[in-house]
Amino acid sequence: MLSYPEAVERLLELGHELHQMPSQSHKFDLDHMRVFAEALGHPEQTVPSVLIAGTNGKGSTAATLASILQTSGYNVGLYTSPHLIRINERIRINGEPITDELFAAAYADYSRGNYDLALSEFRQYVETYPSSELADNAQYWTGEILYSQRKFPAAVVELEKVAAINPKGDKAAAALYKRGLVLIEMGNKEDGVAQLLSVVRNYPKTPEAGLATQQLQQIAPEALEPPAAEPQSKKNEPVRTKTRKP
């Protein structure tokens, strides 16, 4: 595992935002964090939090609020930036900066892409908050992680559960589209094509419907052809009846 000095050194190699020299300062935007938060199912939306923004006084305001909450009996995490002496100061739990070991372990997990840990957390979220608005999101990323680990059969099962949780949610079409691709990659073309076709028919206004259409045009264009018209009814033909003389 990385030591604390190694973790700090690698962070500094990413850019100069943490560097001591103002002439080399660099501010990162939030694009990468948005992608990362999306990949984790937006955990920042699952816990009560306060975001303090402004020009001056952010640090003191945050510290005061954290102190009030801690005194009231809450378990409080605090993140502030920049630090004064050591990077650990940026993350405090109940007033105490995180330890060197925890800092190093957290960075090591991040840099390695600890999918097993994320998978466990997503599953725990779905089990704990099955009715939450983010339950289908967490379920979707469960399937995505399993796919990334090339556990295709398990991914197919987990992706199917997304629509069951919330068939009208924003992840339903994405999950079923991904499920169709996984089935095809597994060699089950028939079921994969059927799944993609269901996305086109059941979620026609979604981006995934367009993607599914493109896939079907390449691998099974005949699936997109309209069904053959049924024979016209003979209801317009005159009805012939037989009558018997009394």
Residues in the chain predicted with pLDDT less than 70, given as ranges, are 1-2, 11-29, 100-111, 121, 133, 227-246
Query: What's the pLDDT at 21?
Result: 44
Query: What's the pLDDT at 235?
Result: 47
pLDDT digits (tens, 9 = 90+) for 160-189: 999 999 888 888 999 999 999 999 999 999
Query: What's the pLDDT at 185?
Result: 93
Cβ–Cβ < 8 Å for 101, 91: no
Q: Within 10 A of 172 (CB to CB), how many other CB atoms are there? A: 22
Q: pTM of the full predicted structure?
A: 0.51
In angstroms and rounded to an integer, the radius of gyration of the C-alpha atoms of the chain is: 28
Query: What's the pLDDT at 171?
Result: 87
Strands 91-93, 77-79: pairing is: antiparallel
Query: What's the pLDDT at 14?
Result: 56
User: Which residues contact residue 11 at a Cβ distance below 8 angstroms, ignoring those fewer than 6 apart?
Assistant: 18, 87, 107
Of 56, 100, 58, 104, give the one whose Cα is nearest residue 79. Answer: 58
User: Which residues contact residue 106 at a Cβ distance below 8 angstroms, ignoring those fewer than 6 apart?
Assistant: 98
Structural domains of the chain in order of their starting residue, each with its CATH number: 4-112 (3.40.1190.10), 115-224 (1.25.40.10)
Instruction: Tell me the sheet residues that pair with 79.
Output: 91
- Cα 87 to Cα 14: distance, rounded to the nearest angstrom: 15
